[in-house]
Amino acid sequence: KYVMLTKIAFSPIFEEHNKSVVTEFILLGLSSSQELQLVLFIVFSVFYGAAVLGNILIILTVITDSRLHSPMYFLLSNLSFIDVCQATFATPKMIADFLSERKTITFQGCMSQIFFLHVFGGSEMVLLVAMAYDRYIAICRPLHYLAIMSRRVCTVLVVVSWAIGILHSASHLAFTVDLPFCGPNKVDSFFCDLPLVTKLACRDTYVISLLIVADSGFLSLSSFLLLVVSYTVILITVRSRSSASMAKARSTLTAHITVVILFFGPCIFIYVWPFSSYSVDKVLAVFYTIFTPILNPVIYTLRNKEVKAAMSKLKSRYLKPGQFSVVIRNALFLQSK
């Protein structure tokens, strides 16, 4: 009985899919020149490796060093986790595609790229707001900091940011999956993103484009406004007290604000003006899939003495010359078994 019910409930979706003939999309990539492809292959491999290693290093440092067990660093390592995901959902395929002639992606693959892009992007925005809130409490209400930013509140902030990301993305996909794709299948980018894919549908997508703008635009603009307001309040507070401890707060703030601008600049440009030129969008897409994931570790970490000290401790603990060779020997031993 239940099987029957599910079949009836989902049959409209299946029929809609049967009507559309596109089963795979062709990704045009970043460039069509052969020599450039090889250069891009090398450059992006290096950037991708740096982004993943840098962020994993941050997560390991925060987890292993008990002096970094504070809300600010928990949120930072959660940001690094999102960055690893953000860098990984499309970039490895793009890197492999640099070397292949036919750059195709299945319909399902394309839809999942759209889904993950918006899950990670949306969660990262909300998490940046949570990090700004954390700094606001730390600087503007320092005496209540530990009471307000308890472990539980921290976990709630992380869970809420993932929940908003997933809901936001699911609402986007609901508009897109049902679109009829009946012929055109060339996506002019290196991964599937909404404005480019809806453009290929055989139906007037003006209303859907507006819905996408409303949805993504609402999320990014409201997070951006919240960030602007909270950093403005923080900066005014910092200015009014000029002690030595505020100098440290100021350098942390500079890092946060740089990341916010670099993250939101491209997003707002692509989604709030989706009718703008698509070739500009393609370059901006590189920005938020590769450059922001690298910039976060660089900006947040290299300027931060506590993190640097913790990292060198981690290094001396795990990479003593003698120990390192033992690790290698064990690894080889396990391999041969």
Q: Which residues bind ligand NAG (CB under 6 A)?
A: 59, 62, 74, 77-78, 81, 151, 154-155, 158
Tokens for 246? Answer: 């505020």
Tokens for 38? Answer: 């090889």
Q: Which residue sits closest to ligand NAG, CB atoms considered? A: 77
Q: Name the CA dihedral angle for 310, 135, 220, 126, rounded to a multiple of 10 degrees.
A: 60
Residue 42 beta carbon to ligand NAG: minimum distance, rounded to whole angstroms: 30
| Side chain identity, residue 16 | E
Nearest to ligand NAG of 69, 320 (CB atom): 69
Nearest to ligand NAG of 157, 267 (CB atom): 157
* Alpha-carbon span 100 to 109, nearest angstrom: 17
Are the beta carbons of 216 and 271 closer than 8 angstroms? yes
Nearest to ligand NAG of 78, 86 (CB atom): 78
* Alpha-carbon span 56 to 60, nearest angstrom: 6
Q: Name the CA dihedral angle for 30, 33, 39, 42, rounded to a multiple of 10 degrees.
A: 50
Nearest to ligand NAG of 56, 246 (CB atom): 56
* Alpha-carbon span 82 to 94, nearest angstrom: 19
Q: Name the CA dihedral angle for 30, 34, 43, 267, rounded to a multiple of 10 degrees.
A: 0
Residue 80 beta carbon to ligand NAG: minimum distance, rounded to whole angstroms: 7
Residue 55 beta carbon to ligand NAG: minimum distance, rounded to whole angstroms: 10
Helix residue spans in 65-150 (DSSP H): 71-88, 91-98, 107-140, 145-148
Residue 161 beta carbon to ligand NAG: minimum distance, rounded to whole angstroms: 10
Residue 24 beta carbon to ligand NAG: minimum distance, rounded to whole angstroms: 35
Strand-pair partners of 186 = 26
Nearest to ligand NAG of 61, 198 (CB atom): 61
Are the beta carbons of 233 and 136 closer than 8 angstroms? yes
Residue 129 beta carbon to ligand NAG: minimum distance, rounded to whole angstroms: 15
Nearest to ligand NAG of 72, 95 (CB atom): 72
Residue 76 beta carbon to ligand NAG: minimum distance, rounded to whole angstroms: 8
Nearest to ligand NAG of 158, 219 (CB atom): 158
